[in-house]
Structure 1
């Protein structure tokens, strides 16, 4: 089997959703002064590569620690969305036909190349129709972007869906949202299915939590070239 880490490293100053707590990692103890090294970590529950719980957008939604751990292991199928440009929608017609082989779609936009820049916030997004298509197919969604919905920036337009419609459609129907993936270009295209392990940190009453997202290819037959 071949394992692929699809997670951004957590580090000070990394991108966060506008208004979320900034990430700050500072020494709390050092080998020189204390005989051991400990870092103080300050961050929000939706830091870096992470998974959302229904309670993220619903007052009475489930929290991550109430969900069985096996629910965070997915049969994942890659969708090529690399033709999308700045704030361009991903429509329902661009998603695959459901065939029962996957329970999570990985939307590969290539936007992780913009990580750490202002452009990262002007990512492609799912239309309400695309989110509804995922609901009908019983697909959770993972993306290499900050958000399945448009993220507010000065480049937003009136034609974009307002609020968190994709979040509500998915999280309101027992599906998950995984954000800020990276390295999706390593995974097989053409409808192949890999196992995606996305265990969240065991934070009590969590509305979301960082994950170490790892894709597992059982036969090791991964494409090396572009899609």
Structure 2
């Protein structure tokens, strides 16, 4: 069974602050040219996407340096839907047993896609991210970022000034050890605890990240 976990790339797509917006414009039309071509504009971290180590690590690997089979993940779903806005996912929230090579954090925050609330997602604590890396896990999440996303009101949502983001420790813990990050997943409801997640990036040279078509495979 196949289950699409990909956000649609359109002009309303939520992007990280100051990243390029997603733009679609007609380049040719049936009426004028007899055929249709759409011009696309977006950053490498638009929509449902995968981060390469070179995203945050100066000497990190690019996506094209990973074998293609790397992007077929043995995924384990971690239910974090009880987390509040800007609340960290801690080490105690992680599974006690190990298995698979990708932890998929199901926060339910994809319900806020396209709204300001999407920026106030739960995130991985530095300790949790280090545990994932130490235990050989790549990480995926149905939110904008595995670290807290900076916004003007960050720290006000939770009432705790300490929630204002400083750096990207979860990214460094994971990408700094050659573990990949998939962000902006959606439609995780109904998935079993274990499944295969296919998340193939575009074949872009020297890529620090890329949109993916994320598809879960499992037996019903």
- TM-score range (shorter-chain normalised) is over 0.9
1:22 and 2:25 aligned: no
1:31 and 2:30 aligned: yes
- Any gaps of 5 or more consecutive residues in structure 1? 221-227
Separation of aligned partners in 2, 1:184 and 1:48: 16
Q: CA deviation at 1:155?
A: 2.8
What secondary structure, in the 3-state scheme, does the structure 2 residue paired with 1:93 have? helix
Separation of aligned partners in 2, 1:213 and 1:206: 18
What secondary structure, in the 3-state scheme, does the structure 2 residue paired with 1:210 have? strand
Separation of aligned partners in 2, 1:212 and 1:131: 24
Q: Which residue of 1 aligns with 2:168?
A: 164
Q: Which residue of 2 aligns with 1:225?
A: none
Find runs of 4+ consecutive structure 1 residues off by over 3 angstroms: none
What secondary structure, in the 3-state scheme, does the structure 1 residue paired with 2:201 have? coil
Q: Which residue of 2 aligns with 1:187?
A: 191
Paired residues of 1:81 and 1:90 also in contact (CA < 8 A): yes
Paired residues of 1:122 and 1:155 also in contact (CA < 8 A): no
Separation of aligned partners in 2, 1:201 and 1:56: 15
Separation of aligned partners in 2, 1:113 and 1:13: 15
Separation of aligned partners in 2, 1:169 and 1:153: 22
- The alignment covers a number of residue pairs equal to 214
1:78 and 2:77 aligned: yes
Q: 1:133 aligns with which of 131, 134, 138?
A: 131
What secondary structure, in the 3-state scheme, does the structure 1 residue paired with 2:27 have? strand
CA RMSD after TM alignment: 1.0
Q: Which residue of 2 aligns with 1:209?
A: 210
Q: Which residue of 2 aligns with 1:89?
A: 88
What secondary structure, in the 3-state scheme, does the structure 1 residue paired with 2:189 have? helix
CA offsets per residue over residues 99-155 of structure 1, 9 Å max, x none? 2x2110110000000000000000000000110110121111100000000000123
Separation of aligned partners in 2, 1:53 and 1:184: 23
- Normalising by structure 2, we get a TM-score of 0.95
CA offsets per residue over residues 46-65 of structure 1, 9 Å max, x none? 01000000000011111111
Q: CA deviation at 1:92?
A: 0.5
- Any gaps of 5 or more consecutive residues in structure 2? 156-160
Separation of aligned partners in 1, 2:149 and 2:111: 17
CA offsets per residue over residues 55-90 of structure 1, 9 Å max, x none? 000111111111110011110010010001111111
1:50 and 2:49 aligned: yes
- Normalising by structure 1, we get a TM-score of 0.92
